[in-house]
């Protein structure tokens, strides 16, 4: 069993030392209360709650799973009690407006809580965290009555929320949906239809679940242009605030590969009363408020699984004795050396470390711009931040979940046969992490969004803005040795990134399939280069701390060593990706679909 310890020191390094959140908040209205002392106290409280309340329920929750009996869903033992403590501690309202009972802290604070809770117990964390996206969507698009009627209860943690998109016959292609919303005389809507794969769709943690549902209103145009967004509570509050059943039921829960402690539900709507969010037929636009929140949250899932692999595998590798070091015994008084001395084990551990800590840099880099978009009064700064978030959100969601899964697999491998056994927690980590690459638009969809819409669709404007930032930082004078060592490799990777974008764009002018053929490899290329930039920024800070005589020399030296490993062993992956991007669509698209089944007894 892996004992989780929240990486508080690394969070402080990333946010305070690399990205200087305290200075950022000084320039943003509404951050006056977020003093360094308060933030540190919150960090410690988050860590304690996640380590002591959530982590002990992770493996037991996986083993027990959720139960569905006659339409009633129950969560694993301990989940309900942990949720009660979570709500009583005020965590649901951490960044919500004070007017609704929240604490009004900067939005980026959610990224810390999401990682700590997700690492401790991803299945549990999904119950309250999906509610955050639902809240944001209601606040952004709901009427005054809906906001006042629903948000305070959700901020208090009394009610949770979901995102209801998928139907049995349509996943990514939302324009095929069949759920109907018939207008009622008083302005509400009666919903009929079913949604599947609804995470945290029903449970016993709270008295009410608020569903944010895409549906089609009669006479709406076909496809995505005819989608509307409807708020549908499981239980409808009457004039006195009492809850009444609302024609919403859980038809079943899915039997899944992982995250067994979270109920993934089939939700049926049988004339359920709902209320329009935003404008008729503009539902997909409104839903992106929820989806973008969820995409960043899913990216954090990749970090969470990487952190569990890092902690578990590192501890095991330092204790497990197997064979002798090829350069001579390192544990001469024992029967063998700890496996951490062996190069191949170090390869896996350093890969986990470089990717997980690099991905954490990316998430909090994004979070700094999220704070600007939500709080800044500077229109130019907000526009620049929106552009950067638009470019980097699909990279973060796709790249971090892909590499998080890679890290989880390395975690199993370090343990050897023991990693395949459930008691150590590594195999659960792999099972739980696999869904992240599918959630909130598969990574193939993220890749198409990045290359097709964000890069080519903006005629290179969004990418150019980010590349210019990297160039500006690269050209700043510095006495950093590691920056001088590695800046050339970063510059070459960035220049090739721009060139690859142009090459794919030119090919796509004659063959649109070139975008789809290149997009996934392009996303991964983009992720590796982005992390190279952020690792080098972090290494420069670490080197400055060492030059200043820091007493934490091991911490900062590890940052320099991990950066060098990343540039030597991880960043070179871009060369293969560049080759596969450039080879084009031919070898993907020439095979006739019938030839896929030649020699197989299938039709």
Q: Quick one: average pLDDT of 91-105?
A: 95
pLDDT in the model for residue 86: 98
Residue 100, token pair as written in the block? 């609704």
pLDDT at 119 over 60: yes
**Cβ(198)–Cβ(189) below 8 Å:** no
Whole-number pLDDT of residue 163: 94
Q: What is the pLDDT of residue 288?
A: 79
Cα-Cα-Cα-Cα dihedral sign, residues 373, 523, 309, 345: negative
- Tens of pLDDT, residue by residue over 300-316, are 999 999 999 999 999 99
Burial class (CB in 10 A: 0-12, 13-18, 19+), 379: exposed
Is pLDDT of 173 > 90?
A: no
Calculate what percentage of the chain has a pLDDT beyond 90.
93
Task: Say how far apart CA 249 and CA 271 lie, in whole Å.
Answer: 11
pLDDT at 2 over 70: no
pLDDT in tens, 487-500: 999 999 999 999 99
Give the Cα separation of 342 and 493 in Å (integer).
31
What is the DSSP pairing of strand 72-74 with strand 189-199? unpaired
pLDDT > 90? residue 255? yes
Q: What is the pLDDT of residue 284?
A: 84
What's the pLDDT at 1? 55
The predicted pLDDT at position 78 comes to 98
Q: What is the enclosing helix (H) or strand (E) of 134?
A: helix 122-141
- At 216 the three-state DSSP class reads strand
Q: Which one-letter DSSP state was computed for residue 121?
A: -
Q: Tell me what the pLDDT averaged over the chain comes to.
A: 96
The mean pLDDT value for 337-358 works out to 98
| CB atoms near residue 575 (< 10 Å) | 11
User: Is 33 considered catalytic here?
Assistant: no
Strand 235-237 versus strand 243-245 pairing type: antiparallel
Q: Which three-class secondary structure state does DSSP give residue 195?
A: strand
Handedness of CA 103, 376, 23, 567 (dihedral sign): positive
Mean pLDDT calculated for residue range 112-133? 97
Taking the model in full, what pTM does it have? 0.97
Angular region, 373: left φ>0, alpha ψ -120 to 50, beta rest: alpha
Write down the catalytic residue from 110, 115, 406, 440.
Answer: 440
User: What confidence tens digit (pLDDT) does each residue in 415-460 have?
Assistant: 999 999 999 999 999 999 999 999 988 999 999 999 999 999 999 9
Give Cα separations from 566 to 58, 145, 273, 285 (angstroms): 31, 52, 53, 38
Q: Residue 159 corresponds to which tokens in the numbers above?
A: 């009610």
Question: At residue 33, does pLDDT exceed 90?
Answer: no
Tokens of 98: 């004070």
Which H/E stretch holds residue 212? Answer: strand 208-215
The CB density around residue 9, as the number of other CB atoms within 10 Å, is 11
Alpha-carbon Rg of the chain, whole angstroms?
A: 25
Output the 3-class SS for 377-429: CCHHHHHHHHHHHHHHHHHHHHHHHHHHHHHHHHHHHHHHHHHHCHHHCHHHH
pLDDT higher than 60, residue 526 = yes
pLDDT (0 to 100) of residue 241: 87
When pLDDT is averaged across residues 573-593 and rounded to a whole number, the result is 96
Whether 290 shows a pLDDT value over 80: the answer reads no
């Amino acid at each position: 069993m892996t004992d989780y310890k929240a990486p508080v020191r690394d969070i402080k390094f990333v946010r305070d030392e690399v990205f200087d959140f305290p200075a950022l908040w000084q320039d943003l209205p509404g951050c006056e209360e977020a003093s360094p002392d308060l933030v540190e106290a919150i960090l410690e409280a988050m860590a304690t709650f996640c380590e002591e309340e959530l982590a002990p329920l992770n493996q037991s929750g996986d083993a027990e799973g959720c139960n569905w009996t006659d339409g009633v869903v129950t969560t694993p033992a301990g989940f309900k009690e942990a949720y009660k403590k979570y709500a009583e501690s005020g965590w649901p309202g951490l960044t919500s407006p004070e007017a609704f009972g929240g604490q009004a802290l900067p939005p980026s604070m959610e990224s810390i809580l999401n990682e700590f809770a997700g690492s401790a117990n991803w299945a549990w964390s999904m119950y309250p965290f999906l509610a955050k996206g639902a809240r944001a969507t209601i606040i952004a698009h709901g009427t005054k009555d809906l906001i006042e009627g629903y948000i305070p209860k959700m901020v208090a943690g009394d009610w949770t929320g979901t995102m209801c998109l998928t139907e049995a016959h349509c996943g990514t292609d939302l324009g095929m949906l069949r759920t109907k919303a018939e207008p009622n005389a008083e302005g509400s809507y009666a919903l009929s239809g079913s949604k599947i794969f609804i995470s945290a769709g029903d449970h016993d943690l709270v008295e009410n679940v608020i569903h944010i549902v895409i549906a089609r209103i009669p006479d709406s145009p076909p496809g995505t242009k005819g989608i509307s967004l409807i708020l549908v509570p499981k239980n409808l509050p009457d004039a006195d605030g009492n809850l009444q059943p609302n024609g919403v039921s859980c038809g079943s829960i899915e039997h899944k590969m992982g995250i067994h402690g979270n109920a993934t539900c089939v939700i049926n709507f049988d004339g359920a009363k709902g209320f329009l969010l935003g404008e008729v037929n503009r539902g997909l636009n409104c839903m992106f408020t929820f989806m973008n929140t969820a995409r960043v949250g899913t990216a954090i899932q990749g970090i969470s699984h990487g952190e569990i692999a890092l902690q578990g595998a590192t501890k095991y590798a330092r204790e497990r004795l197997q064979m002798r070091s090829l350069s001579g015994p390192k544990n001469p008084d024992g029967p063998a050396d700890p496996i951490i001395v062996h190069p191949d084990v170090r390869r896996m551990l350093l890969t986990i470390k470089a990717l997980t800590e690099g991905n954490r840099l990316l998430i909090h880099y994004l979070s700094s711009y999220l704070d600007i978009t939500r709080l800044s009064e500077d229109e130019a700064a907000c526009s620049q931040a929106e552009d950067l978030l638009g470019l980097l959100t699909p990279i973060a969601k796709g790249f971090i979940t892909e590499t998080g899964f890679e890290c989880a697999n390395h975690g199993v491998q370090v343990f050897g046969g023991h990693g395949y056994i459930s008691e150590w927690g590594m195999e659960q980590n792999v099972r739980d992490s696999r869904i992240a690459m599918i959630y909130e638009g598969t990574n193939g969809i993220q890749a198409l969004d990045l290359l097709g819409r964000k890069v080519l669709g903006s005629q290179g404007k969004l990418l150019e803005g980010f590349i210019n930032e990297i160039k500006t930082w690269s050209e700043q004078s510095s006495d950093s040795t590691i920056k001088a060592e590695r800046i050339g490799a970063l510059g070459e990777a960035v220049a090739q990134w721009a060139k690859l974008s142009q090459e794919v764009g030119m090919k796509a002018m004659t063959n649109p399939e070139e975008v789809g053929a290149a997009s996934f490899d392009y996303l991964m290329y983009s992720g590796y280069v982005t992390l190279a930039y952020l690792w080098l920024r972090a290494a420069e800070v670490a080197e400055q701390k060492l030059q200043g005589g820091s007493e934490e020399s091991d911490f900062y030296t590890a940052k320099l060593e991990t950066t060098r490993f990343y540039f030597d062993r991880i960043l070179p992956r871009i060369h293969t990706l560049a080759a596969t991007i450039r080879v084009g669509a031919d070898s993907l698209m020439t095979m006739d679909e019938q030839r896929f089944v030649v020699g197989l007894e299938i039709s």
